[in-house]
Amino acid sequence: MAEIELQREGAVARIVINRPERKNALAGDMRAQLAAAFDEVNRDDDVRAVVLTGTGDTFCAGADVGKMAPLDVKASRMRLKQNTHQLIRGLYDIEKPVVAAVRGATVGIGLSMMLACDLVVASETAKFSCIFARRGLAPDSGAVFFLARAIGMARARELVFTTRFFSASEAHDMDIVTRVVPDRDLEAQAAELAATLAAQPTYALAMAKKMFQFSLTPSLDQFLEMEALIQPQIHQTQDFREGIESFKEKRPPRFVGR
């Protein structure tokens, strides 16, 4: 079974992250597969709304840290730009309304993907974290860009610096998610919302999306370029190596500040 599935139900496309045995953590070419799916639905005039979701009890538990290989600064920068940034740009640039249907742990790049969507239907079971610092990393995949604009600098800093988990109800209070529903109703509510959006004037909604995006400074492209300069340098630190090793060894990290 494919790790990324693209399904169609009338004018609504469903993009499903399908790696439930690893909590839908992204590894291998899953980022490229997601980017290809985003491009396909963007070019398909018969698709008028999109649902992004995950199989099983989790939306996306971020990157599969156990599969991360060390790279030098140049190679790390190119990997970030060609994989993660291509994915985030592809999702952000879909000229149709995108609904995220999320449950369970939504962390790291999973949180960024959710924030890049237009509307979010969250299960009561959903929980969120900007988890990067636990692995000795600064955020990537546009996490700071999206969080700061969604909830303001003060709350965004607190979530980034502490990496604490927060609930679906708190996310709703912070205007990160659109609605919170019982877990059993998640798929139906997301599908109903997407069908409503698919019946709207598609091009008018696309242009409304552009208006929201142009209201933000700097642009996502400018912000991601800064990420691509910063994150590869962090990959060379002792704390990053400790973050990865502690995850693999299932123990708390012991960071030393270098």
Q: Residue holding tokens 């679906």?
A: 168
Q: How confident is the model at residue 167 (pLDDT cuts 50, 70, 90)?
A: very high
- pLDDT at 168 (0 to 100): 98
Sheet with strand 105-107: strands edge to edge: 105-107, 127-129, 166-167
Where exactly are the structural domains of the chain? Answer: 4-183
- pLDDT at 39 (0 to 100): 98
Beta carbons of 247 and 65 less than 8 angstroms apart: yes
- pLDDT at 2 (0 to 100): 93
Strands (E), 55-207: 98-102, 105-107, 119-123, 127-129, 166-167, 179-181
Q: How confident is the model at residue 176 (pLDDT cuts 50, 70, 90)?
A: very high
Residue 1 has pLDDT above 80, yes or no: no
Beta carbons of 54 and 186 less than 8 angstroms apart: no
Give residue-wise pLDDT tens across range 188-232. 999 999 999 999 999 999 999 989 988 887 888 988 888 898 888
Over range 124-129, report the average pLDDT: 97
- pLDDT at 227 (0 to 100): 87
Alpha carbon 61 to its chain centroid, in Å, reads: 10
Over range 141-151, report the average pLDDT: 96
CATH code given to domain 4-183 = 3.90.226.10
Q: What is the residue-averaged pLDDT of the chain?
A: 93
Token pair belonging to 176? 């990160």
Closest Cα partner for 151 from 179, 170, 135?
170
Q: What letters, b where the CB count within 10 A reaches 16 and e where it falls short, cover 198-233? A: beeebeebeeebeeeeeeeeeebeebbeebbeebbe
Burial of 235 (0-12, 13-18, 19+ CB in 10 A): buried
Give residue-wise pLDDT tens across range 72-107. 888 888 888 889 999 999 999 999 999 999 999 999
Q: Residue holding tokens 């949180």?
A: 111
Token pair belonging to 79? 């990997």
Residue 234: C-alpha distances to residues 9, 64, 75, 97, 124 (Å): 43, 18, 13, 35, 35
Give residue-wise pLDDT tens across range 22-69. 999 999 999 999 999 999 999 999 999 999 999 999 999 999 877 666
pTM: 0.89
Q: How many CB atoms lie within 10 A of CB 24?
A: 28
Over range 137-157, report the average pLDDT: 95
